Each structure stands twice: as structure tokens, then as C-alpha cells.
């Protein structure tokens, strides 16, 4: 049996073999599963996933020493617009290294930012295509910013200078316009951006009636930090939000998917404040112009009505005279008609009365004659029964104590009687 190799001897042999067989650099595409920096060096964990199962089929570690990373990092971040982080696809130029003490690793010589840009652009385009397929890409653009947009929900980091600039510009605007802002704090850099902003949007949605619009501002930061605003979940939440959303999260040359999907995209937090101030100023200007127009219209109308009144005041005497004359003629005609009607009615009633009188007088005369004849008969009867006439014919009338005496048996002895004659009377006592 040959003498066994020590581990150091074995590793050194492998190292010599690798340096001999794989002496050149290789370009390789891989996805970053983990990225960290330490003392200026970059350490990556690379993976390749199965296209169908989305599970890793290969893994490797890679290092970029400080001497190289100090040159590669600024160019990569400036060109690609992102920092190297988990989830990015990179095209790396690497060479193998097997250190007897630390083992095997790939040493990064260069990173192609155009490849990452292309991959990111492909993902962005895929997200945009899906949003358009869902019919939500332009939903925010179809909203209307309320006329009086003064209640502002702000999504930002509470410590961001841009947030302070935004609030100060609204508060100290030269037109003394009144705004109310309320902060919904969120992470604005790193991998947690999307989830943090969605959480803030959910909190605002619970109080949706209390706000007129939402402002998402970042206030500075590197261009490489914009990748957190290019996620499908965040875009869908913003697109379907019921309030207009204004974004001021990047620089003029950078536009995230969040910017594309929002109601209004501006460059900076101060530009967002300026947009809101200008919007309310336009409303104020419109109202002031409307007030002036109303005042002018009222003045013109008052002048027109005053001219009408002057014309009427001038025409009133003439019109009154004409009306008076017309009504006097009408009254005279009515009076003449009334007199004619009264005269005719009086004549008609007189004729009726005369006819009634002509019929009534003969009847009255006949009635009178009948009553006169009846009265004469009664007179004759009364005269025939007159006591004085009987006395003149020789009769007498005797009265007792109880009045006219008719029955001799009713007289008692000693009763005094009085007898009336034509001439005088006789008093006697019964025996």
C-alpha cells in the first residue's frame, strides 16, 4: 500500500490541477440567492433553477475581492440602476480557485451590468404586460383628483429628509393654502419596500373617506434602490386603490413601474408638494375668477334692470292715463248697462204690479161689499136684541141679588128686586 496523502497535499494537488486545466476565466449566468459585503469584499451564493419546477439544480459560492469590487460596484450600480441583491440574474466573469486551506470558490473578475439590465427590463416588461392584460394599468389615470385636495395621506420613511421638505413646502406655501397631512410610515429602501407600502395602503384604505389623495415619496437615495418599486403585488395594489396616488420617489431619468401605474408621477417630494399647491391654486383662481364674473354679471344685470325701471317710470304716467281712460270708459259702459237693466227691470215689475192690481181691485171690492152686507145684517140683529129697544116697546127687566132674574122660583122672600123700565126703575121686596 502506498503512503497516504495528507489533506494539505491532496488539496494542493487539486489546486495545481485546477490551475493547469482551468487556467482561464469563464462567463457564467446565475441567480443570486444571497449577497453580502464584508471589509470591502463581495460574497455571493449563486444558484441555477429548473425552468419547470423552479427548484435549484446547481449551487456555487463566488467572491469578488476588494481590489476588483471597488471598481466593479460603482459602474454596475450606475449602469444597471440596482445594487446586487438576492433575486437578480447576473452575468459574471469568473475563474476557479482552490485554496488548500479554504477550499474551492469562484473568483469574480467582472460583472456585466447590461445583462442584469436586460433581465430586469424583461421582468419589468412582463409585469407591465400582465397589468395591461388584467386591465388595471390605467385605472389610476381614470380617477379624478378632488377639487379641494387638502387631506393628504403620506407614505414615506418618518426620518426621510424628503418627507420634511414635502410637509414644510405645503405648510409654508406663499398662498397660505391650508393642507392636512398624515404620515403612514413605510420602508422606502431594500427588499421590504413593496410589502411595507402595501401595508400602509391598507391602513389608508380603512380610513379612505378621511383623505383626498395619497402621496408616496422617498426623498433621495440611490438610483439602485428603486428596484423595490418594480413588483407586481405593489403595482396591483396601487392600480386598484380608490384614491389618486402621486409618486415622488426617484429622479427625473428614472421611472419605476410604480411611477407608471400611479395617477401622477413627479420627480421629487418637493415637486409633489408643488403639484398639490398648484392644483389647489388653480381651484382658488377659478373660484376668484368665477366670483369676479358673477359680480360683473350682477352689476350688468342691475344696470339693465335700472334702465328698465327708468323706462317704466317714464312710461308709467302715460300708461296710467291710458289705463285710467280705458277703465273709466269701461265703468261708464257698465253703469249705462246697469241703469238700462234697472230701468227695464223696474218697468217690467211695474207692469206686473199694475196687472196684479187690476186683477186684485175687483176682488177686493167684491169682498168689501160682501162684508158690508154681512155687517148690516149683524147690525140689524144687534138692534133687534138691544134692551133699550125692548124697554121702548113696554118691556121691563128685573134684577135680583144674583143678576138678571129669569126664574121666579129662584127668588126668596125678603129679597130685594130692581125692575128697569123705559123711564126709570122700581125697587121692590118679595113677601
Report yes or no: 153 and 203 within 8 Å, Cβ to Cβ.
no
Q: What is the pTM of this model?
A: 0.58
Residues 6+ apart with CB under 8 A from 431: 413, 414
First-to-last CA distance in the chain? Answer: 218
Q: Residue 352, Cβ neighbours under 10 Å: how many?
A: 10
Alpha carbons 248 and 235: distance in angstroms, whole number: 15
User: Rounded mean pLDDT of 198-216?
Assistant: 97
User: Rounded mean pLDDT of 400-417?
Assistant: 82
pLDDT at 225: 59
* Cell, residue 90: 447576473
**pLDDT at residue 428 above 70?**
yes
Alpha carbons 247 and 151: distance in angstroms, whole number: 16
Alpha carbons 278 and 378: distance in angstroms, whole number: 128
CA atoms within 13 A on the CB side of 152: 26
Alpha carbons 72 and 77: distance in angstroms, whole number: 9
Q: What residues pair up with 182 in beta bridges, in sequence order? A: 153
116: pLDDT confidence band, cut at 50, 70 and 90? Answer: confident
Q: Can you list the domains of the chain with their CATH numbers?
A: 7-118 (2.40.50.140), 135-283 (3.40.50.2300), 389-430 (no CATH)
Report yes or no: 64 and 106 within 8 Å, Cβ to Cβ.
no
pLDDT at 1: 62
User: Rounded mean pLDDT of 95-123?
Assistant: 87
Alpha carbons 119 and 230: distance in angstroms, whole number: 13
253: pLDDT confidence band, cut at 50, 70 and 90? Answer: low
**pLDDT at residue 364 above 90?**
no
Mean pLDDT of the chain: 87
Residue with cell 467582472: 110
Burial 209-224 (b: 16+ CB within 10 A, else e): eebbbbbbbbbebebb
* Cell, residue 362: 175687483
* CA distance to 153, 175, 377, per residue, from 280 (Å): 16, 10, 124
pLDDT at 152: 97
Which helix (H) or strand (E) is 45 found in, with range? strand 41-49
Alpha carbons 93 and 103: distance in angstroms, whole number: 20
- Is residue 40 classed as helix, strand or coil in its secondary structure? coil
Report yes or no: 227 and 172 within 8 Å, Cβ to Cβ.
no
User: Rounded mean pLDDT of 310-314?
Assistant: 81
User: Rounded mean pLDDT of 238-255?
Assistant: 85
* CA distance to 35, 62, 64, 389, per residue, from 38 (Å): 10, 13, 11, 178
| DSSP category for residue 22 | S
Could you tell me which of 282, 12, 261, 58 has the C-alpha nearest to residue 149?
282
- Is residue 28 classed as helix, strand or coil in its secondary structure? strand
User: Rounded mean pLDDT of 362-379?
Assistant: 85
182: pLDDT confidence band, cut at 50, 70 and 90? Answer: very high
- Is residue 110 classed as helix, strand or coil in its secondary structure? strand
Alpha carbons 221 and 227: distance in angstroms, whole number: 12
Could you tell me which of 243, 164, 162 has the C-alpha nearest to residue 201?
243
**pLDDT at residue 220 above 70?**
no
DSSP-assigned letters across all residues of 158-194? TT-HHHHHHHHHHHT-TT----EEEEEE---SSTTHH
Over pLDDT 70: what percentage of the chain?
96
Residue with cell 411611477: 259
User: Rounded mean pLDDT of 205-217?
Assistant: 97
- Is residue 241 classed as helix, strand or coil in its secondary structure? coil
Report yes or no: 194 and 200 within 8 Å, Cβ to Cβ.
no
- Distance from chain centroid for Cα 303: 37
Amino acid at each position: 500500500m502506498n503512503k497516504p496523502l495528507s489533506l494539505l497535499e491532496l488539496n494542493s494537488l487539486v489546486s495545481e490541477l485546477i490551475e493547469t486545466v482551468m487556467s482561464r476565466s469563464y462567463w457564467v449566468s446565475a441567480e443570486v440567492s444571497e449577497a453580502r459585503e464584508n471589509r470591502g469584499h463581495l460574497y455571493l451564493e449563486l444558484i441555477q433553477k429548473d425552468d419547470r419546477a423552479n427548484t435549484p439544480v446547481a449551487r456555487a459560492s463566488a467572491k469578488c475581492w476588494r481590489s476588483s469590487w471597488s471598481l466593479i460596484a460603482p459602474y454596475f450600480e450606475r449602469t444597471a440602476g440596482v445594487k446586487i441583491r438576492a433575486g437578480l440574474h447576473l452575468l459574471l466573469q469568473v475563474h476557479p480557485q482552490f485554496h488548500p486551506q479554504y477550499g474551492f470558490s469562484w473568483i469574480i473578475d467582472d460583472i456585466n451590468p447590461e445583462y442584469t439590465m436586460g433581465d430586469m427590463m424583461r421582468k419589468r416588461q412582463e409585469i407591465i404586460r400582465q397589468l395591461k392584460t388584467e386591465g388595471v394599468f390605467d385605472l389610476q389615470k381614470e380617477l379624478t383628483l378632488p377639487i379641494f385636495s387638502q387631506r393628504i395621506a403620506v407614505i414615506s420613511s418618518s426620518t426621510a429628509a424628503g418627507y420634511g421638505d414635502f410637509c414644510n413646502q405645503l405648510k409654508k406655501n406663499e398662498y397660505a393654502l391650508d393642507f392636512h397631512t398624515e404620515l403612514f410610515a413605510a420602508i422606502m429602501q431594500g427588499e421590504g419596500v413593496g410589502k411595507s407600502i402595501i401595508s400602509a395602503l391598507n391602513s389608508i384604505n380603512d380610513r379612505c373617506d378621511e383623505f383626498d389623495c395619497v402621496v408616496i415619496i422617498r426623498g433621495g437615495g440611490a438610483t439602485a434602490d428603486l428596484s423595490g418599486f418594480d413588483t407586481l403585488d405593489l403595482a396591483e395594489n396601487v392600480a386598484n386603490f380608490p384614491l389618486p396616488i402621486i409618486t415622488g420617489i426617484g429622479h427625473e431619468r428614472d421611472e419605476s413601474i410604480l411611477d407608471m401605474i400611479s395617477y401622477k408621477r413627479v420627480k421629487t417630494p418637493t415637486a409633489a408638494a408643488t403639484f398639490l399647491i398648484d392644483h389647489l391654486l388653480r381651484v382658488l383662481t377659478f373660484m376668484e375668477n368665477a366670483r369676479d364674473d358673477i359680480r360683473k354679471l350682477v352689476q350688468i344685470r342691475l344696470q339693465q334692470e335700472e334702465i328698465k325701471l327708468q323706462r317704466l317710470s317714464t312710461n308709467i304716467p302715460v300708461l296710467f292715463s291710458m289705463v285710467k281712460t280705458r277703465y273709466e270708459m269701461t265703468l261708464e259702459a257698465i253703469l249705462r248697462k246697469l241703469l238700462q237693466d234697472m230701468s227695464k227691470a223696474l218697468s217690467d215689475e211695474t207692469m206686473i204690479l199694475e196687472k196684479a192690481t187690476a186683477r186684485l181691485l175687483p176682488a177686493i171690492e167684491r169682498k168689501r161689499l160682501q162684508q158690508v152686507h154681512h155687517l148690516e145684517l149683524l147690525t140689524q140683529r144687534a138692534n133687534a136684541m138691544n134692551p133699550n129697544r125692548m124697554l121702548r116697546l113696554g118691556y121691563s127687566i128685573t134684577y135680583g141679588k144674583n143678576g138678571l132674574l129669569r126664574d121666579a122660583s129662584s127668588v126668596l122672600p125678603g129679597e130685594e128686586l130692581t125692575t128697569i123700565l123705559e123711564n126709570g126703575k122700581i125697587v121692590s121686596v118679595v113677601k
